[in-house]
Amino acid sequence: MSTPSSTAPEPLDPTRPAAVTAPAEAAPAPQRETAAADRSGAGGGLAARTNAEAETAAGADDAAQASGRTAEELARAAERKAAALLAPPAPARLGDVVPAPERVEPDASGDYLLSVDAVIRVSADPAAVAVAGQLAALLRPATGYPLPVADTTAPVPAGGIALVLTDEVALGAEGYRLDIGTDGVRIAAGTAAGLFHGVQTLRQLLPAAVESATPVTERWVLPGGSILDRPRYPHRGAMLDVARHFFGVTDVLRVIDHLARYKLNRLHLHLTDDQGWRIAIDSWPRLATVGGAGAVGDAPGGYYTRADYRRIMAYAADRHITVIPEIDLPGHTNAALTAYGELAPDRVAPPPYTGTEVGFSYVDPASERTYDFVADVLGEIAALTPGRWLHIGGDEAFKVPAEVYAGFVDRTQRIVAGLGRDVIGWHQIAPASHCDGRILQWWGTTGDDPVTAEAVRRGARLILSPGNHAYLDMKYAPDTPIGHDWAGLIDVRRAYDWDPATHLVGVPAEAVLGVEAPLWTESVTTLAEIEYMLLPRLPAIAELGWSPRSTHDWDSFRRRLAQHGPRWATAGIAYHRSPELPWSAPAMPVPAPRRPSPSGDPLEHPPVSPSSDPPVRPGTAPGQE
Ligand code: TNX
């Protein structure tokens, strides 16, 4: 990065108390406590229970009189109870995974105990070997075991974990099979991505203490049985807005880790907006140096150098995640215009913008210079981006007349096609012409839009990010300290309870490529705040994207998801302790409430009830919603 990273930006409101400590600075104490507390029968838990048993014994005579049982009988019962509490913890249930696996066949007699001399064996394929290395790196810190990685053909003792590439076509591009028995664990997949997803499942089946960064005394037991698992949709993503507030490379890498845990495979980076341009473009250098200088509320700006951006691409690719860069056009371009006034309709560079209004800026669609700019920028981004998609934004260009707008999008789509990439745009690009591979990203709140349905009939496919279910910048509840509510409040249940296949009227299930959860960052200023908004809702969107509809069950989901609280706490990840989930671990600190934002912020409205119809966003033009 060339300008300060935002890992510790100034709070937007200087009177606001500091937000939750960023995980890098998170005190280790709660992590250790959580790990200990979560191991039934160990550490503090043991002490507490022993005291409880002592109390039971002391009161035994009274109780004996009351129950009619002898004191000796009660003492023996208390002893049995104590023994049960001291017994090793039962392993997780095989199906206790988020997102829910397609098929689960538990085998109570097949629990596997990872031992200090276990070896990880892997097919001799560089991508598979890399996954084995990732598995070892996941397990070594908490277990303290050496876990060497060996070729499947190497003569090593049985009883370890094998990662095997197979030609089982049924597993598809991302599926895996996990078999756990007393004498070993095997993950089989057709691809390294499938092995990687299998590793994420295995990680969740180990005790929560596996998230500890330092060795923990634990019985590392995996529940016996088999899982067959494949994703429902090929596109399972999250979006991070690095334009409203800038987040440095290490923050983005950490978000990628969160995606990987939940088998998400796309990170959409919203790289440009009115408040900041966040990617260096060699042919238009002032975009980043001038356009990247600011952020909402005068927070520090910043941008990614080409090396930074490549680092993000590589880190994501190692986790089988494709990055989709977005250059938002023709609107949301004030930052670009501050750097190059020649792109503005009046050829005058506007001042930097640090507010949160939308829809006022646009590059001149009537100027040839604008198309030079679009071609240069998208050309450089395409050259840096290994993935197949370029996102051209297209939202909220309120000041551009409809026909001119459609012409601009047509031409920009042709530029993307000329670069050999497939175009994605917010669903406002629907009226433009069809082109091969065209994808619309739905962010409306109504579930019904004839213009989008018509574009689908002409061949477009859809990513679903309904504002009233998947927008993770919406508040959880009226008292959520950060976030908006223009699309309603989104608690975990609201994030979970919808079906991508039937969500949009007039759009057949086959046109849906998947789901994506956007996190806009007008009010989100730190990594901890990002995590607080993502967790626990991101796993809800991940489950919609991955799991077969037949597994969809709120009660099951909330129970499985609550088990992740101790995992996040142990890993030092901030999250919202949503009252809807049956948490068992101690709370993490949450971002401190802010004072109400200054009046005039178009994104701040009185809270609406989650059950009422969400209001249409103010300033949304007809046909743009
Ligand atoms: C709408 S969704 C926007 C963003 C805002 C967001 C805030 C979309 C394509 N545009 O510019 O950041 O609402 O929730």
SS3 426: strand
Q: Which tens digits make up the pLDDT trace of 43-69?
A: 222 222 222 333 333 334 444 455 556
pTM, two decimals, is 0.83
Specify the residue with its C-alpha closest to ligand 1, atom 7.
520
Query: Minimal CA–CA distance to 171: which of 103, 266, 121?
Result: 103
CA 112 remoteness from chain centre: 30
Helix (H, G, I), strand (E, B), or coil: what is residue 257? helix
Per-residue pLDDT averaged across 21-29, rounded? 30
Calculate helix-pair angle for 564-571, 28-38, nearest 10 degrees. 150
pLDDT digits (tens, 9 = 90+) for 530-552: 999 999 999 999 999 999 999 99
Q: Contact 176/197 with Cβ under 8 angstroms?
A: yes
Q: Is 396 a catalytic residue?
A: yes
443 pocket-lining for ligand 1 (C-beta < 6 Å)? yes
Confidence band for 87, pLDDT divided at 50, 70 and 90: low
Number of alpha carbons in the 13 Å side-chain half-sphere of residue 459: 8
Ligand 1 and 442: CB distance under 6 A: no
431 compared with 620, residue with greater pLDDT = 431
**What is the spatial distance between Cα 255 and Cα 259, in angstroms, rounded to a whole number?**
6
Centre of ligand 1 from the C-alpha of residue 513, in Å: 21
Q: Whose CA is nearest to atom 6 of ligand 1?
A: 520
Given CA atoms 605, 606, 611, 616 in this order, what sign does their dihedral have?
A: negative
Instruction: With a cut of 90, say whether residue 330 has pLDDT above it.
Output: yes
Is the link from the previous residue into 566 a cis peptide, with omega within 30 of 0? no
Question: In angstroms, what is the span from residue 345 Cα to ligand 1's centroid?
Answer: 23
Task: Please state the atom number of ligand 1 nearest to the C-alpha of residue 474.
Answer: 14
At 252, the amino acid letter reads: V
Residue 577, phi then psi, degrees to nearest 5 = -80, 75
Instruction: Single out the residue of 382, 397, 246, 285 nearest to residue 324, CA to CA.
Output: 382
Report pLDDT for 128.
97
- Ligand 1 center to 520 CA (angstroms): 7
Res. 216 pLDDT band, cuts 50 70 90: very high
Atom 13, ligand 1: which residue's CA is nearest?
520
What value does the mean pLDDT of the chain take? 85
Atom of ligand 1 nearest to the CA of 521: 12
pLDDT of residue 36: 29
pLDDT at 4: 35
Q: Which of 326, 396, 522, 531 is catalytic?
A: 396
Residue 1 in this model has a pLDDT that exceeds 70: no
Give the model's confidence band at 153: pLDDT under 50 very low, under 70 low, under 90 confident, else very high: confident
Assess whether pLDDT exceeds 50 at residue 623. Answer: no
Q: What contacts 118, CB < 8 A, 6 or more positions away?
A: 145, 147, 159, 160, 161
Q: What are phi and psi of 603, to 5 degrees?
A: -95, -5
What percent of the chain is predicted at pLDDT more than 70? 79
* Span from the CA of 325 to the centroid of ligand 1 (angstroms): 16
What 3-state DSSP class applies to 412?
helix
Of 354, 397, 375, nearest to 284 by C-alpha is: 375
Q: 304: which DSSP letter? A: B
Do residues 503 and 223 make contact, with C-beta atoms less than 8 angstroms apart? no
CA-nearest residue for atom 8, ligand 1, is 395
Q: How do residues 305-314 score in pLDDT, each as one tens digit? A: 999 999 999 9
520 ligand 1 Cβ < 6 A:
yes
Task: For residue 620, give the DSSP letter.
Answer: P
For ligand 1, is residue 473 a contact (CB within 6 Å)?
Answer: yes
Q: Which residue has the tokens 């991302």?
A: 174
Residue with the nearest Cα to atom 10 of ligand 1?
395
